[in-house]
Amino acid sequence: MTKSLQELAEFLGARVIGDPAVVVTGLASLDDAVEGEISFLANPRYAPKVAATKASAVVLPPGADSHGRNVIETPNPYLAFAKLLTLFHVAPPEPMGVMDGALVGKNVTIGADITVYPGATIMDGVKLGNRSVVYPGAVLYPGVEVGDDVTIHANVVIRERCIIGNRVIIQSGAVIGSDGFGYAPDNGQWYKIPQIGIVIVEDDVEIGANCAIDRAALDVTRIGRGTKIDNLVQIAHNCVIGEDCMIVSQVGISGSTRLGNHVTLAGQVGVVGHLTIGDNAIVGAKSGIAGSLPAGSQVSGIPAYDHRQWLKTSAVVPKLPDVKKSVSALEKRVAELEKLLQQENR
């Protein structure tokens, strides 16, 4: 694909500084770009690289030094570059229908322009929306509903009756609708509680590789519109995740927890069950959430508390051995002084 700088600027709703007729054939980093490619600057730390890059053009924020380069100016260069990557490299796949070697059950509803690869299994009563793609090894249990423009990668399992919205991406190995971890005590043993609910994944969600999202015991485990879930995340039964949340790798969320909208859980956060995390809360990596958090919270630590206080506390921890030595020395000196005072008072 080739585009002029002006065409790219119009596509982004941005403006050109320099020669709008420059032809762009691809994208690359500031370090690796060559003539004909466009790069971007999102972090001011790397601004000196704009002067040295061989790119034919650079996407820059307003006010950045162009060093004489051709520029597309936009307030969010990172987002602009992501859109250009999509334009140049993400083409809709040609639909191939249900291919030989795919297993399709009874009473299955198939939309237009779909692709079901060999080795995929579509069980009875499944509804598969328009332009959706199911890769080899994926299994859709009976009664699953999948919306339009959904991509289900290899070896995904979507369990019975779960519902997937439009434009959802599910990466390889994820399991949607596995049984929730529910057991009743029975004279020293455990009786399995049937998990008869479902999972609903709303529109524009992405679910990373090897995630597990458990079906509800009775009602719905829900993943809100636009939420992005990284690899290796566990979301337990009856959780409700709000819209546009960001859940990073190795997070574990216990049952019946509710996240508001725009919540960020950084890597390896652990959340106990039956609590609420308010809108726009941010939880730092490796934190343990033992209680509900109000909207706008910024916390870190185990157990988690205010992030700024946690930073101060963390800065003190490496100094504790020296503090201990100082305290021990002071204790020794105090003991010596007390001994002298006792001698003088005799």
Q: Tell me what pLDDT residue 168 has.
A: 98
Report d(CA 229, CA 30) in Å as an integer.
29
Q: Tell me what pLDDT residue 169 has.
A: 98
Q: Tell me what pLDDT residue 166 has.
A: 98
Q: Tell me what pLDDT residue 313 has.
A: 86
320 within a domain of the structure (yes/no): no
Which residues of the chain have a pLDDT value below 50? none
Whether 124 and 218 map to the same domain: the answer is: yes
317 within a domain of the structure (yes/no): no
Q: What range defines the domain where residue 267 resides? A: 97-308
Q: How many domains does the chain have?
A: 2
Whether 177 and 224 map to the same domain: the answer is: yes
Catalytic residue among 67, 89, 237, 274: 237
**Between vectors from CA 5 to CA 72 and to CA 18, what angle results, nearest 5°?**
60
Q: What is the CATH number of the domain that holds 75?
A: 3.40.1390.10
Report d(CA 107, CA 127) in Å as an integer.
9
340 within a domain of the structure (yes/no): no
Whether 112 and 249 map to the same domain: the answer is: yes
Dmax (CA) for the chain in angstroms is: 103
Whether 37 and 70 map to the same domain: the answer is: yes
Q: Tell me what pLDDT residue 317 has.
A: 85
Whether 9 and 115 map to the same domain: the answer is: no
Whether 12 and 151 map to the same domain: the answer is: no
Whether 293 and 186 map to the same domain: the answer is: yes
Q: Quickly count: other Cβ atoms within 10 Å of residue 103's Cβ.
A: 13
**Closest Cα to residue 304, out of 264, 256, 340?**
264
Whether 189 and 304 map to the same domain: the answer is: yes
Whether 79 and 181 map to the same domain: the answer is: no
Whether 154 and 225 map to the same domain: the answer is: yes
Q: Tell me what pLDDT residue 335 has.
A: 87
Q: Which of left, alpha, beta for 33 (phi over 0: left; psi -120 to 50: alpha)? A: beta
The sign one gets for the Cα dihedral 329, 317, 305, 286 is: negative
The sign one gets for the Cα dihedral 298, 274, 263, 169 is: positive
Whether 139 and 54 map to the same domain: the answer is: no
Q: Tell me what pLDDT residue 93 has.
A: 83
331 within a domain of the structure (yes/no): no
List, as own/partner pairs, every contact residues 326-333 make where C-beta atoms lie below 8 angstroms and the sequence separation is at least 24, other chains included.
none
Whether 150 and 256 map to the same domain: the answer is: yes
Cβ burial, residue 345 (10 Å; 0-12/13-18/19+): exposed
Q: Tell me what pLDDT residue 152 has.
A: 98
Q: What is the CATH number of the domain that holds 108?
A: 2.160.10.10
| Whether 153 is catalytic | no
Q: In the structure encoding, which two tokens stand for residue 294, read together? A: 């109000």
Q: Tell me what pLDDT residue 338 has.
A: 86
Q: Tell me what pLDDT residue 344 has.
A: 79
Q: Tell me what pLDDT residue 164 has.
A: 98
